[in-house]
Structure 1
Amino acid sequence: VGEWALTDVLYRIVAGVVCGLLIGRLLGRLFFHSRAEELRLAEHRDGFVALAATFLAYGVTELVSGYGFIAVFVTACTVRRVEHGHGYNNVLHGFVEQLERLFTAWLLLLLGGFVATGGLAPLTWRGAAVGLALVLVIRPLSGWLSQLRGPAGPRERRIISLFGIRGIGSLFYLAYALGHADFGVPPEELWAVTAFTVMLSVVLHGITATPAMNRLDGLRERVTARGRS
């Protein structure tokens, strides 16, 4: 336990944060303040740079045995802080958002093929109960608690904590975990539980998201009208 805490928890997290800060600061200066005009990428408004920055931060951090996904997050935050009000930040954000949507659509297509070919056959009642608890209880509760000190009102907090596709990241985490440990459960059952959770979220939130947002917008309009009167 001691070695795990020092290596996998302390060192790898610290390495991810430090690498993210250093790479983010370096890229930020390069994008916005480089003396060479061709290296001031902010002036070229090229969003594809975000993908290169992601690979750079992840790769360098993994080379020193740090957590690459932490470094990517810290790098993005650090680059944005270098020139917080610069329009290039919106270009990078827009590109990443479009890429995320395309990747999510592709991943859901593969997941649909997995389900159609019998991927949910190993699912048990216990696994289905776990999926229901994750979508309906655990994730909404954790999302609501994380926003207690945020600027959103009570209704907004409920909407934010309830909606959004659940479990997409779990597909990657499960693939990684199965390659490094044995959990005493057939891998097919674990994949079935994860796929069920994602599919349940897609169907449930796909049906209820629009009515819920329309209701929230209506409440906002009524509150605004009362304030004006």
Structure 2
Amino acid sequence: MPEWSPDPYIIALTGTGVLIALVAWLPLALRRLPISLPIVCIAIGALLFGTSYPGFNPSPGVHPYITERLTEFVVIIALMGAGLKIDRVFSFKHWAMAWRLLLITMPLSILAIMGVATWVLGTGAVASLLLATSLAPTDPVLAADVQVAGPKEGGEDTVRFALTSEAGLNDGFAFPFVHLAIALSLTASTGDHWFTNWLTFNVLWEIIAGVGCGWLIGRLFGWLTFKVPGDTLAKTGDGLIAIAATFVSYGVSELMHCYGFFAVFVTALTLRSTHRDHEFQRDMHDITEQVERIAMMVLLLAFGGSLITGLPAPIGWAEVLAAILILFVVRPVTGLIGLIGARATRSEKITIAFFGIRGVGSFYYLAYGLNHGEFADADLLWTILSLVVIMSVVLHGLTVTPVMRWLDRSQGRDPDSEVQSAKGLARTRD
């Protein structure tokens, strides 16, 4: 009998099959439980790397370029999905909640996190700015449980719309501050006049061009999908066109040296507005959601493994205190400040302010900043960011189901009937 020697390819194939099965099954199994999919993924990753992969360290700081690219991929897919599932027509008036969170809450969060990093952790001002710009934006990837449902599925209440629109837009709004941190980190060695270049290029050009590029790509794909003479792409039922639009939008915008995150989200909103009520919108959203979940699980498995193999810097009382302040003080307080005068109930404002989830986007920004700038305390930055993200995943993951169900009941909605309705829609589509 030949000696058993497992083929790595076969092991990888089997593991991929199990992963995809979990992607399909876990959201259903966890629907009513006070635990989220990211918590389970991180736990599985910790178990796998704790028992099966000795000697391999999946920590993001060890593989900064891979971390930047993988997290970038997941974020742009999530941004496309977020834009496609928002039913509310875009307007400055009807999106007032998003502007409050973007233009008031996020800048205040950056300033507050900089203060925490400087005074509690002792990091320099420039490193503190990079950390703050990485942690200030809410995450479009891990926040699925507090976002609106799919296209035309209802459930677009004040809280879910505010958190979805914020997550879709604030990744683009955070990028100028990331570039500011990079410019400041390089100015000592280059002597460049960084302010003019940062203001005219990184702020004005990259934002305006990113929005414009996203709108044009969205119009093009909207025409190809719904309005081209003859057989439209919508008749094929192939939702992969949404993935194509994501890649084209991001690729063209990056070639133009403007913000791809802005472009992808605007492309999604424009594509949705071309034929808002068409059933094909749901097909496009579903495929983006599936791709996003698979990629997210791969990243979270690696993140769980990095917690087992060890963070780059030791965790002491200062790091724990900083993470607690960021999650329990900075986001709730700045969130409530941004919502002063908003048309929402007190419970809605508290919920929006509390669920400022940190995740995959934070890893992307820190990796991008460290790969393009010169920062001290890189190991400490990775450690505190990882600590904040794992605390956010656990804190928000354990509270999201009971809080959102309580909020629905308090506003006269039956969360169980909405679940059944969503299942019925899924069966109808099948």
Question: Do both proteins adopt the same fold according to a TM-score greater than 0.5, normalized to the shorter chain?
Answer: yes
Q: Does 1:70 align with 2:262?
A: yes
Match of 2:388 among 197, 210, 217: 197
Do 1:166 and 1:198's aligned partners in 2 also have CA atoms closer than 8 Å? yes
Distance 2:202 2:342 in 1: 30
Do 1:123 and 1:189's aligned partners in 2 also have CA atoms closer than 8 Å? no
Q: Name the residue aligned to 1:212.
A: 403
Q: Aligned pair count?
A: 220
Do 2:250 and 2:264's aligned partners in 1 also have CA atoms closer than 8 Å? yes
Does the residue aligned with 1:179 lie in a helix, a strand or coil?
helix
Q: Name the residue aligned to 2:311.
A: 119
Which TM-score applies when normalising by structure 2? Answer: 0.47
Q: Name the residue aligned to 1:227.
A: none
Say if 1:202 and 1:219 are closer, same or farther in 2 by CA, change over 3 A: same
Distance 1:139 1:165 in 2: 9
Q: Does 1:159 align with 2:351?
A: yes
**Identity of counterpart residues, as a percentage?**
43
Q: Name the residue aligned to 1:51.
A: 243
How far is the alpha carbon of 1:164 from its aligned partner?
A: 6.2
Q: Give 1:6's aligned amino acid.
A: T
How far is the alpha carbon of 1:221 from its aligned partner?
A: 4.4
* Higher relative contact order, structure no. (Cα contacts within 8 Å, ≥ 6 residues apart): 2
Gaps of 5+ in 2: 1-194, 414-430
Distance 2:342 2:268 in 1: 21
Q: Does 1:27 align with 2:218?
A: no
Query: Residues 37-90 of structure 1, C-alpha deviation per residue, up to 9 Å, x if partnerless?
Result: 1xx211122222211111100001111111111110111111111112222222
Q: Name the residue aligned to 1:226.
A: none
Distance 1:24 1:31 in 2: 10
How far is the alpha carbon of 1:122 from its aligned partner?
A: 3.0
Gaps of 5+ in 1: 223-229
How far is the alpha carbon of 1:137 from its aligned partner?
A: 2.4
Do 2:331 and 2:356's aligned partners in 1 also have CA atoms closer than 8 Å? no
Query: Residues 90-114 of structure 1, C-alpha deviation per residue, up to 9 Å, x if partnerless?
Result: 2222322333333322222111101
Q: Name the residue aligned to 2:58.
A: none
How far is the alpha carbon of 1:168 from its aligned partner?
A: 2.1
Do 1:119 and 1:192's aligned partners in 2 also have CA atoms closer than 8 Å? yes
Distance 1:65 1:10 in 2: 12
Do 2:210 and 2:263's aligned partners in 1 also have CA atoms closer than 8 Å? yes
* More off after superposition, 140-149 vs 71-80: 140-149
Question: Which residues in structure 2 correspond to 1:127-206 (within 5 Å)?
Answer: 127-144=319-336, 152-163=344-355, 165-185=357-377, 187-206=378-397
Does the residue aligned with 2:411 lie in a helix, a strand or coil?
helix
Q: Name the residue aligned to 1:90.
A: 282
Distance 2:295 2:329 in 1: 27
How far is the alpha carbon of 1:34 from its aligned partner?
A: 0.8
Query: Residues 3-27 of structure 1, C-alpha deviation per residue, up to 9 Å, x if partnerless?
Result: 2110111111111111111111111
Q: Which runs of 4+ in 1 moved over 4 A?
A: 142-152
How far is the alpha carbon of 1:121 from its aligned partner?
A: 4.2
